[in-house]
Structures are given as C-alpha cells and as structure tokens.
Amino acid sequence: MTGFWYDWPRTIGAPSPDDLANRVLGQTVERIDRRAKYIVCSLTHDLLIVHLKMTGRLYVAPAGATLPDDRWVHAKFGLDDGRELRFSDARKFGKVYLARTLAEVSAGAAKLGPEPLDDSFTPAHFLERLRGRGGALKALLLDQSFIAGVGNIYADEALFRAGLHPLRKANSLSDDEAVRLYYTIREALTLGLDHEGATIGWYRKPDGSMGESQLHFLAYGRDGQPCVVCGTILHKTRVAQRGTHFCPVCQPLLE
C-alpha cells in the first residue's frame, strides 16, 4: 500500500490513525477472507480488518475518480497500481482496524462459532452444538457464538425452508428437524451468495450494482403477502429485537 487517508477518527478502531498510516505503508494485500461479519485482508505483516456495520462499503476506484458513494468516504488506502481501496459509511458505525490477529480487535473473536459453509461444519457437529440449548431458534441462529455469520435475513429464510417457527425452542427439535435446519441454513446462505447479496437498503456489490437476493426471498420482507407454499398470509413478529417473518401454517409453533 502506498498511503492512507481518513477524515473521521472514530472510523479507525485501532491503532491510532498515525500508527495505522505508518504500519500499512509498503505492505501488500495477499488474501481476503471473512470471519463472521468481519472482512479480513491479510497483508504482508498485519491484518486489515473491516466491519461494515449497516451502511459500510468497500470498493476500489482509480485515484482521483469521483463515485456516488464517495460522499461518505472516511478512509482510503493507496494501491501501487494507481487505484484506491475506499471505505464509505453513511452512518459512521463501521470500523477499520490494523492488527496482528482478529482477537486484538474483537473480545468475542475467540468465542465465534463455526462457519456454516465450511466443510468441517457437519450435521453431526450441528447436532452436538444444539444439545442443551434453550431459547428461541431465531435468537440462537443470530448468536455469533453458536454459528458465525448468519444474519437476520438468512435466519428467516433458513427457518422457513425448514418449516420451523422462529419462536420454537431449540431444545425441542428432533434429530431429523435439526438436520433439516442444518441443510436449509447452508442452502439459504449459498443462494444468497449465488445472487450476490440482498440490496434492500444500503448494500451494493463492489462494482456499485445491486445484489439480487431480495428478488428470491421466500419469507423475509414478505409479511402481508401469500406464502409461496400454502398461500397463507405471512406474518411478522420480533425475535431477539429483530423483525422476523414466517408462515403460521408451514411453520407452526409447537409446544
């Protein structure tokens, strides 16, 4: 990297902006990964870690070029090909960190659950993690210490596909129901990737275009509309303080 610019100190989570600028200079981006909801860019010596929060965007643009989202740009990293890696965030909740490990910037990093699309995450592993878990299924799916990276939208989609009510108690599932949920979690996330994310509010792909996942939802955001399976009007409630969409017929609340 050839340089660093910022205009909102709170965007820089750690270290200080001056230390970040000095440390990042001359480092090369070697790999880009994701852990839970963190984007992790492996540099030569450090990790450049970004949490987008609700309105954050990362994109690459020619230095000097002006793009629509630049009105909210709060950090830029110069690249040696003459372009810039820019972080835009209208609400200013997102964070940029430079660290040796994810644990340095997130106290909960060591407690993050498995990645649901990893090959190492098997149905048997899922069943084992479910044992002894109480509380509502939807709340459990949103718990990043249980599974990392499942958000509100795809929790609703997975539960609908599994035919499980979001308020169903996690410890009430049979093994067959739990295995079905395991596969629908992976299915919902895979379809989200295939359709390149959901553009409902702020989200855009790196090239600025819209994702199309929202065009294929079966439950999320469809309250008041007929269920695609049975025709019953879908309902909306709140679980774990998040809007939650379900079909009362296909997803009965069993006691």
30 residue type, one letter: E
Higher-confidence residue of 213 and 197: namely 213
Confidence at residue 88, expressed as pLDDT on a 0 to 100 scale: 94
pLDDT in tens, 92-106: 999 999 999 998 888
Pseudo-torsion of CA 166, 171, 174, 176, nearest 10°?
Answer: 60
What rounded mean pLDDT belongs to the chain?
Answer: 92
Q: Where are the beta strands (DSSP E) in the chain?
A: 3-6, 12-14, 31-35, 38-42, 47-51, 56-62, 73-78, 83-89, 95-99, 235-239, 242-246
Stretch 68-93: mean pLDDT, rounded? 94
Please tell me the least confidently modeled range out of 50-54, 77-81, 92-96, 241-245.
Answer: 50-54
Count Cβ atoms within 10 A of the Cβ of residue 16 and give its class: 0-12 exposed, 13-18 middle, 19 or more buried: exposed
Judged against a pLDDT cut of 70, whether residue 255 lies above it is answered with no
pLDDT in tens, 139-172: 999 999 999 989 999 999 999 999 999 999 999 9
Residue ranges and CATH numbers for the domains of the chain are 3-110 (3.20.190.10), 113-246 (1.10.8.50)
Sign of CA dihedral 111, 116, 117, 122: positive
Q: Which residues contact 124 (CB under 8 A, 6 or more apart)?
A: none
Which of the four pLDDT bands, split at 50, 70 and 90, describes residue 210?
confident
| CB 138, CB 172: distance < 8 Å | no
d(CA 112, CA 93): 21
Q: Which residues contact 24 (CB under 8 A, 6 or more apart)?
A: 1, 4, 43, 46, 48, 77, 98
